[in-house]
Every structure is written in C-alpha cells, then in structure tokens.
Structure 1
Amino acid sequence: MKPDIRIKPAAKAGRAHRIALLPGVPGDPFADLPPALGRSARALAAMRGFEAQLGQRLLLFHGDVQWLFAGLGPLQALERPGFTEAVGRALAELACNGGATLDLLLPAGLTWDVEAQARWATEALAMAGYAFDPYRSKPARERRLDVALVAPPQAATGSRRGGSAGRRGAQAAMQRGIDAGLHAGAGIHLARDLVNHPAVVADPDFVLTQARALAHEVGARLEIIRGEALRRQGYGAIYAVGAAATAPPALAALEYGRRRRGRPTVALVGKGVTFDSGGLDLKTSGGMALMKKDLGGAALVLGALRAIAGLRLPVHLVAVVGLAENAVGPRSYHPGDVLRSKAGPTIEVTNTDAEGRLVLADALALARRFKPTHLIDFATLTGACSIALGKDLLGLFCDDAALRGALQDAAAATGEALWPLPLWAPYRKKLESGVADLINATSDGFAGAITAALFLREFAGDVAWAHLDCYAWSDGDHPLFPKGGNGIGIRLLIDAVTSIVEGDLHVTG
C-alpha cells in the first residue's frame, strides 16, 4: 500500500510526537525550549554525550510528549545534504510501520529562508517515507505520514514585516516550500515505482501507460512510435533490441511547455530496457538478477518531468524514453548484425548485451528533432562505471564546460554526487568497424564506460550534451533511499534545469 504523505505548515507544536532540529556547539542547543523541557533535555544530553552534532539524536519523554532531538552541528557548516539526511534519520527513528503523526520543528539561525527549509525538509520526508509493497499477499496496514512543519520564531521570509503579518508570511512561505518539496517527492516516487515493479509487469507497454498518464497529468504533448512503426520510420537500432520480446519496443516523447525566443529547450533522454537478459550474448544468473532496474534511466527522466512540471519552471522540456526488453527468442538480433540507426550511422553488433547504447542512439535522434539547446541522457549503461565509482556516484561525461558546471553545482547542492570522466578522443578508434560505421561494444575489457559514452556522442549532434551513467538501485543502507529503485538524479536535474532556465551557468575546467 502506498504511503499517504501529508505535510502542512503550523504556527506551533501540538502533537504527541515531535522532532526538533537543533544547532550544535557553540552555544546551548536547548536554549529555545521551554525552561522545564530544556532542563530535562540538558540533563539527559549530559549523560548521553549529546552535543547536537550532525548525526546525533536524543530521545526524551517529557510529560505526554515524545521528543526526538536531531543534531545539525554548527549551522555555518551545515549544507543541504546534511540537513535532509538528519530529517530522514529522525523520521526513521520515530516512524512506526512506515507511518507517523508528528511535528517537525525547524531550527532558528539557518542562513536559508523558511521556504527553503520547508522544501528540503519535505523532500527528505517524502523520500524517507516511501514504501513499495503492492505484491504482498496481505495488504500492509495503511501508512500515513502526517507532519506539521513548525517555523522557528522570527523565521526569515524575505519580508521585514513583524507581528501577525510576519507570521502569515512565514506560513505562506512554508506552504510554497512544502508544495515544491512534494512535487520533487512525487517525481522520485514515480521513478522508484517504475524500477521496483517486476519486469513481467513493467514491460514497454506498461511504461507507455505510465507515460500517457503523466502527459495527461502535467499537460504535456505525447508522441509514441511503437513496434513496426519504428522499423518503417528508420529507428532500426531500438527495433532490433526489442524485436524478440512479447511487448514491442517503443519510443515516447513528452513535450512540456513551448519553444519561445530566449527560452532554453532542454531534452532529457532515458534508457528504458525493461529487462536485460543480455540477448543471445546471455548474462549469467547473477548478472541478470537485478536487470528489472535497467529501465532506471527512463524512470529518472519521467520522474524529473513530473517534478519540473509541478514546479512550473519556465522551460521548454522534452523527455524521451527508449523502451525495449532485451529478450531471447526467434527474432533476437545477433552478434554480427549490422543495424541502421535513425541518425544515419550503421552499427555492427559485436555484443547483444551492449543494447542500451543502441536504444539511446535512436532515442537521442528523436530528441534532436526538437532542436534542444541542452541534451542530457541518463542510463544504467555500463558495469564498468559502477566498478569504477561504486553504486552511489553518477559517472558524468560532458565536454561542454557550462553544462558540466551546472550539473556539478547541482550535484554539490543536492548531495546526488557525480564524478566527471573523460571523453578520451584517442579511444574513439576502438569503435571502428570493418563492415559498418561503428561497433556497439569493444571486447578488450578496458575503458568500457568511456567507449560507451564516445559511442553515444556520435548521436548527440552539435549541442551541449551530457551523459550520466547511473546505477539506479539502493541497498537500503541510507534513510532517504529505501532498498530498491532510488530516483537518484531527479533532484540534481531539478537544480540543473533551474540553473539553465535562469542562465546561472559558469564554466568549469
């Protein structure tokens, strides 16, 4: 059963369960509490060594109220990732069966205004409160997360008004922040759901159904090219990958907003291989076990569209997903086949388990039809990237300095970390074919993530382009990321697209 998440602003605390976010030393973290509560908290903190450092928590029962004090450390050193993690860990400690009814008291003294505090807190609550269990034989008890956000005294709103007008301003600012955080949370939940469904359910047709519902929800125009229409229209690479599956392959383009003079057009492209058996170059059972997550790139792109549309950013946004199941059957494509892509280059198939770049080649071609100023693709593309960077770091390939800077700034702000990797030109020769324009995969085992990115660059055209290689799955060892599809990359994209819209780009080396 999906959690019911309700978050609202409140003028003061009044519930039996309360989380208080407290600044650490210097100073008394309990200074703003009522005197009797403060004395009890100080006594317990002295016994437990609680100094309100980031990551510390202290549980106290006072009267009929259960308090959880969550440390933030020195406020001048606090950044958004630490703040959201503190909220997530505190919720995990108080929540029962995934649900809770509580007050969350925001701290005084932060340099962020109360709208930003409310937004980041809401994002954290939505992420930590996520649950996915529709396939259990016995429905879970209803999970309701009902949180009242309480602003600190004299909360900063950007207004100089005091008294009741100032309080009303703080409430309105908090509501704006809550709304923004819930839109981000909805996008993350959508992405996680798509990855978490089993492949027998989440085939290309299922994802198309979700895309139709999303387009209707946000008012996006939707174009679908499916099955034989792909072959007829020249999308030969994605068609070959999905030809053996029961549900035919498809491309879907969702267009939000309209092209206007002076407004950027951002195209997001996602790999949506709904299950990857490896094709005739069959994976081992261990390598196949998590391959329902191979649609993670498409899930992220759809989730990002949901969030950005909810935030009403003034952007012309196009989300393109390439959907196929890489199955084994009488119509499987073969090693040695030569495929003709929509963009023109022919591709010799050297490994059917390097199918994601074939899907993306045609998806990028469709995205370029919308004449984007910025083109960003997400894909669970290579095991080589995960081996190099682990599961939590996104691999970034981008030779446009301004776009690279926007993505790196967004990663630093959100904590959705990435690491730049080189588009090393000398490795381009590894992709040369004796019978076609390109091969789809090298066989020497070296630089697999780089050669995959170089392959994609052949189809990105003359536009500011970035490729992000992601893992799309978490093991459940972080409070904001329950086990399963993680949605990592959506908050990063929200921030990066915001920077592109506002023209707040800078060049990085």
Structure 2
Amino acid sequence: MPTIFASAEDPSIPVHAMEEAGCASALAALPRQARNWAEHIGFSARLGDTLPVPGEDGRVAMVLIGLGSAEARARKRFGAVANLSVLPAGTYHIASALPLPLLEEMTLGWLLSSYGYDRYAGKPAPERALKQPEGIDAKRMDAIVAGEFLTRDLINTPANDMGPDELEAAVLALSLEFGADVSAIRGEELLEQNFPLIHAVGRASPRAPRLLDLRWGSQGPALTLVGKGVCFDTGGLNLKPGSSMALMKKDMGGAATVLGLASMIMALDMPIRLRVLIPAVENAVSGPAFRPGDILTARNGLTVEINNTDAEGRLVLADALSLATEEKPDLLVSMATLTGAARVAVGPDLAPFYSTQDDFAEALSTAAAEVLDPVWRMPFWAPYEALIEPGIADLDNAPSGGFAGSITAALFLRRFAATAPSYAHFDIYGWQPAAAPARPKGGVGQGARALLAALPKALGL
C-alpha cells in the first residue's frame, strides 16, 4: 500500500504548534519577520488558530498552529488540527517537538482533514501533503486513513450508484487488494440457503438482495464483523416522510464501517481469522414488499412479527448474526445505523455500543479515549426483554410505546447472537452533520479506530 506521507526528500514548509500559555516564548524563538507578522495579526495560539506566515518572496514560509490549552483540547475532539483550508497546496512538516500522543493526534487530524468527496462536482482539493513525523508508525497511520476514507466514500455515494451490486463490487475490490475470499448468495438463493429475513426485506426491489461473505486469515483468534447494508431505506410500506428519507443513502453505514475496519486489519496483517458478513438490500415499495402484521421465521427458527417495515435493519442483521454464531467466533461485532433513538440519546458524535462482556467493554472504552474515537456503553437491560415479545410470535421487530428504542433493538439482535462467546453491537449514526476538525460534513466512520486499538487485548494477541 503506498504511503500517505510525502517523500522525506521533498522541500517542505515547517509547521510550528504552540500552546496558548507558551505562545509569547514560542513566538520569541521565531525569526523576527515571522514574529512581527504573528504579533501584527494578533496570533495568540488559541485552539484551532492556523496562521500562514509569508516569507520575503510572498510565499508561505511557515505555518503557526494554536493548540490552546489541555482543557480546551479536552472539549474538542481533534482540537490539535490545522485548518487546511487556509493553506496553499504544498508539502509541510511538523517542526515542533510535541509529546507523542499530541503528535499522533495532530498527524492523524491533518490526514483525515484532507478527505474530499468530488465524484460528481467540484475540483479535487489542493494537496497539502505532510511528511512523516519522527516517531509516527507510518504503516498503521496508512491503514487507518485508507480504511476511514473507504468508509466515507461508500457512505457518501448516492444510492443510485451504491446499491447491492455496487456494494458487492466494493467488497470484491477489497478482497482483491488483500487476497481475501468472497462469496455471495443472491435473490432466491437466499431462501434456498435459509436466509428468509434478508430475502423478505429486499424482495420488493429490482436490485436483488444478497448476503456477502468475506474471509481472510488462516490462523489466530476468530473475529466476525457484521454490517448492516441497507443501501437505501424507504421505510417499506410504512413509508418514511421525505424529511426522514433524505439521508437514507447512509443506511449502509454499518457495512461501510466494517469494511473500513476490515481494510485496516488486513493492511496491518493482524494475526486473526477475519470474517465480514454484509446483508445488502434495498428496502423498497412494490407488490412483493413485506407487510405490517406478517410473521416471518428467521434462520435460527425464531418467529418475528412485523409491526413496522421501517425496522428492517434488525431483520437482515438477524439472519447474518445467526450464520455468524454457527462458527462461534471468539468475538462477534455488529455495526448498524439502526435507530433514531440512539441519536436522541447521545447525539451524532458518540457511537453507542452494547457488549455481553465487561472486559471487552472496558478495553474498548479505554482504547476509544486514547485514539479519539468516542464510544459510550449502553445496557442490555434484561427487564426490557418483555417489550420485544409480542405473544403472537417469538419477537416483535418494532415494539410500540417508543421507550428505549436503541436498547430494545439491541436486545432483539442479541437473541440471534446468543451462542457467541463475546458479542458487541454498535448503533452508529455514520454521518457528520456539520464540518468539524478532521471530519468534513458527510459520511464518517464511528467506532472502527476504537475497535482496532482494542482488538489486541480483546483477542489476546
């Protein structure tokens, strides 16, 4: 994989990062012209300040970055990030001596900020290349950035160009890059091979539903990732209003995120047996659409009453999770843009997760804080199990009442992962509603970097 860093031999512009409290002494150490310019502009190293400093020829000779204070950075994820939009194209290097965690934050933030989605309009953003800072693990940084950009590209692509066929093509392309094996079960084959819920959700669309299955690695503990691949969600016969349908191209954000994580794992050649399962469907409206009131039987034999066709994600995940548990992987993780209730609870920035194992949850939460990929543990609250048991069938896909929507969805999924030694479910949003440091507006990965950092401890690597 080609490096994302600029060549060490290229001429480059120095970037000086300084905290607000030490700004005066840091400026005093700069050449007089740079110091005078910074004082004239009023640069005070507040968090996020980015000041290009011109040289005698009028070109940018250096860049000053404000790191604010530790307290300010704690309130703003990726606070130590340059505002690349004010910098001209060119090659840069971080000239300041920074503690390694802060240097890693600044480097990753710079690289993630360089993302742009220009497939349909606009021009590619000017390239502001960065040289590899000393102490940075370039291979790991490459893997993380490439995986995150894959996730963003997949989510940002509109549904007319990112249906089940195109999602399958993306999985195949990833497999070819890393030498993985891929199989797909499509259309009526889903019924023949006992994936009835995936078939039911996707059968109304002319774009055939399918289950995508990627395998990589032959030794080590087994990790299975399951990602919701609903390429567009109309809500089915319980049709969404237009305002709720506008962002439904991102309803395959779970699939996009597990593919980004899989890319990171394979690029780093982690010693595990990796499996990725993606039920890829379009929840459309036509004569064959599944109906409210239908009772469907899942792969594992549980019956499900359909009380809302817009609660389709948990249905396709149920069949995929049932398949995953048949091999009893050491760790089973599902990721899905599953409920609006999760967003009401924690907003778009945090990735809520559920875990059947306290040790895993602790390792994940610790890793998430270290890599600035925030997660928040939610409870598999057993007293709410009754809410997903309608009486007429084993399970209800959309309990009435509106209480604890994310928890009841997670409890539903746990019924299909019950035999997994360790199961975790992420109810992600997958979208950045407004531009923020290192995260342009649009599709975004959540939880993948935290999981990557937690895997060594979680799997005993």
> Which residue in the other structure is 1:158 paired with?
none
> Which residue in the other structure is 1:29 paired with?
26
Distance between the aligned counterparts of 1:29 and 1:266, measured in 2? 48
> Which residue in the other structure is 2:315 paired with?
358
Q: Which runs of 5+ in 2 are unaligned?
A: none
| Letter of the 2:344 counterpart | I
Q: Which runs of 5+ in 1 are unaligned?
A: 152-169, 504-509
**Distance apart, 1:293 and its partner CA:** 0.6
CA 57–375 in structure 1, closer or farther in 2 if over 3 Å, else same: same
Cα RMSD of the aligned pairs, angstroms, is: 2.6
Q: Deviations over 1:1-28 (max 9, x none)?
A: xxx99523537x834x543223453472
Match of 2:453 among 485, 495, 501: 495
Task: Verify: 1:42 aligned to 2:31, yes or no.
Answer: no
Distance between the aligned counterparts of 2:51 and 2:107, measured in 1? 22
Distance between the aligned counterparts of 1:150 and 1:291, measured in 2? 38
Whether contact under 8 Å (1:20, 1:106) holds in the other structure is yes
> Which residue in the other structure is 1:72 paired with?
67
Distance between the aligned counterparts of 1:150 and 1:32, measured in 2? 24
Match of 2:385 among 410, 425, 428: 428
Q: Secondary structure at the match of 2:166?
A: helix
> Which residue in the other structure is 1:149 paired with?
131
Match of 1:378 among 317, 330, 335: 335
Q: Deviations over 1:412-431 (max 9, x none)?
A: 12222222222111110011
Q: Deviations over 1:308-332 (max 9, x none)?
A: 2112222222111111111001110
Whether contact under 8 Å (2:3, 2:138) holds in the other structure is no
> Which residue in the other structure is 2:92 paired with?
103
**Distance apart, 1:107 and its partner CA:** 2.4
Distance between the aligned counterparts of 2:70 and 2:243, measured in 1? 45
CA 209–306 in structure 1, closer or farther in 2 if over 3 Å, else same: same
Whether contact under 8 Å (1:264, 1:500) holds in the other structure is no
Alignment of 1:221-370 (within 5 A): 221-258=181-218, 260=219, 263-370=220-327
**Distance apart, 1:191 and its partner CA:** 1.0
Q: Deviations over 1:216-275 (max 9, x none)?
A: 1111121212111111111111110001011111111211212x4xx3211111111011
Q: What is the TM-score when the length of structure 2 is the normalising length?
A: 0.91
CA 49–410 in structure 1, closer or farther in 2 if over 3 Å, else same: same
Task: Verify: 1:58 aligned to 2:51, yes or no.
Answer: yes
Question: Which deviates the most, 119-128 or 422-431?
Answer: 119-128
Question: Which deviates the most, 430-439 or 289-298?
Answer: 430-439
**Distance apart, 1:447 and its partner CA:** 1.0
Whether contact under 8 Å (1:23, 1:107) holds in the other structure is no
CA 76–150 in structure 1, closer or farther in 2 if over 3 Å, else same: farther
Distance between the aligned counterparts of 2:132 and 2:299, measured in 1? 54
Q: Secondary structure at the match of 1:343?
A: coil
CA 257–81 in structure 1, closer or farther in 2 if over 3 Å, else same: farther
CA 441–141 in structure 1, closer or farther in 2 if over 3 Å, else same: closer
**Distance apart, 1:335 and its partner CA:** 0.9
Whether contact under 8 Å (1:393, 1:418) holds in the other structure is yes
Q: Deviations over 1:127-173 (max 9, x none)?
A: 2111112223xxx445452524264xxxxxxxxxxxxxxxxxx5xx5
Q: Secondary structure at the match of 2:63?
A: strand
> Which residue in the other structure is 2:80 paired with?
86
CA 275–78 in structure 1, closer or farther in 2 if over 3 Å, else same: closer
> Which residue in the other structure is 1:478 paired with?
436
| Letter of the 1:466 counterpart | A
Distance between the aligned counterparts of 1:247 and 1:232, measured in 2? 18
Match of 2:110 among 122, 125, 129: 125
CA 498–32 in structure 1, closer or farther in 2 if over 3 Å, else same: farther
CA 70–146 in structure 1, closer or farther in 2 if over 3 Å, else same: closer
How many equivalent pairs are there?
Answer: 456
| Letter of the 1:500 counterpart | A
Whether contact under 8 Å (2:5, 2:132) holds in the other structure is no
Task: Verify: 1:183 aligned to 2:143, yes or no.
Answer: yes
> Which residue in the other structure is 1:216 paired with?
176
Distance between the aligned counterparts of 1:276 and 1:407, measured in 2? 30
> Which residue in the other structure is 2:5 paired with?
7
Distance between the aligned counterparts of 2:33 and 2:239, measured in 1? 63
> Which residue in the other structure is 1:166 paired with?
none
> Which residue in the other structure is 1:157 paired with?
none
| Letter of the 1:7 counterpart | F
Whether contact under 8 Å (1:385, 1:449) holds in the other structure is yes
CA 441–76 in structure 1, closer or farther in 2 if over 3 Å, else same: closer
Distance between the aligned counterparts of 1:366 and 1:103, measured in 2? 48
Q: Secondary structure at the match of 2:366?
A: helix
Q: Secondary structure at the match of 1:127?
A: helix
**Distance apart, 1:53 and its partner CA:** 4.3
Whether contact under 8 Å (1:235, 1:340) holds in the other structure is no
Question: Which deviates the most, 51-60 or 185-194?
Answer: 51-60
Whether contact under 8 Å (1:226, 1:249) holds in the other structure is yes
| Letter of the 1:145 counterpart | E
Distance between the aligned counterparts of 1:205 and 1:333, measured in 2? 21
CA 337–150 in structure 1, closer or farther in 2 if over 3 Å, else same: closer
Distance between the aligned counterparts of 1:299 and 1:334, measured in 2? 28
CA 79–318 in structure 1, closer or farther in 2 if over 3 Å, else same: farther
Distance between the aligned counterparts of 2:75 and 2:270, measured in 1? 21
Query: What percentage of aligned pairs have identical amino acids?
Result: 39
Distance between the aligned counterparts of 2:86 and 2:143, measured in 1? 25
